[in-house]
Amino acid sequence: MQALTAPTGGRDRNAAVLPLPAFNDNYIWAIVRGGDAAVVDPGDAGPVLQLLDQLGLRLRAILLTHHHGDHVGGVPELSRIEGITVYGPAREQLPRCDVRLAEGDRVAIPELDLDLAVLDVPGHTAGHIAYFGRAAGQEPVLFCGDTLFAAGCGRLFEGTPAQMYDSLGKFAVLPPDTQVFCAHEYTLGKV
C-alpha cells in the first residue's frame, strides 16, 4: 500500500473516504475524520492496521455488506481492537456482528460525520445490504459491496435475477450525484 497522508476534503478538512487496496482487486473503504476511522468490508486486516498506524487513527466501527471472506476476513484480527462496533447484515453468517441491520435501520457515528441508511439488496448473497447517506462530510454516498460495479453487477451466488434487478432498482432512484464506493476494481486491465 502506498504511503497515506492526512485526509483533506469534504466539509471538514480532516474528513475523507479513502480506498485501501487489498488482494488483487478489492477495496476496503476507510471513512476518516479527525483521529477516528471506520472501515467498510475489511477482507484483510493488514491495510487497515497500516492506515491506523500511519495516520494515528482510532478504529471505531466496521461496516459489513455481506459474508464473503474477501469482505470479512480481517474482522477477527481487527476485533482485537478495543471499543469497536461491528455492523452487518441481519441475515448473514458473519465472524462477528454487534449490530444486525436490515432495510430501514441507520448507522450514525457523529465523530465521523457518518449517517447511513441501510438498504436490503439481495442478489449477490441472500442477505446483502448496502449503506447510503453521508460519510466524512461527503454526501450522498453509497457503499454497495458486491451489488454494483463500474461495469455491471455482482454474480448471483445465492440470490435470483429478480432480486438483483430489484436491488439495482433501489440504486437507480438515488440522487444522480451519489458517489458510489464499490468493493472491487474491475475496470483496470491486468498486465
Q: Which is the catalytic residue, given 71, 113, 120, 128? A: 71
Q: Which is the catalytic residue, given 44, 67, 128, 184? A: 184
Could you confirm whether 146 is annotated as catalytic? yes
DSSP per residue over the chain, as a string? ---------SSSTTEEEEEEEETTTEEEEEEEETTEEEEE--S-HHHHHHHHHHHT-EEEEEE-S---HHHHTTHHHHTTSTT-EEEEETTS--S--SEEE-TT-EEEEGGGTEEEEEEE--SSSTT-EEEEEEETTEEEEEEEETSEETTEE---SSS-HHHHHHHHHHHHTS-TTPEEEESB--SSPP-
Could you confirm whether 67 is annotated as catalytic? no
Q: Which is the catalytic residue, given 44, 68, 113, 120? A: 68
Q: Which is the catalytic residue, given 44, 70, 113, 120? A: 70
Q: Which is the catalytic residue, given 41, 120, 124, 128? A: 124
Q: Which is the catalytic residue, given 41, 66, 113, 128? A: 66
Q: Which is the catalytic residue, given 36, 44, 120, 146? A: 146
Could you confirm whether 128 is annotated as catalytic? no
Q: Which residues are the active-site residues?
A: 66, 68, 70-71, 124, 146, 184
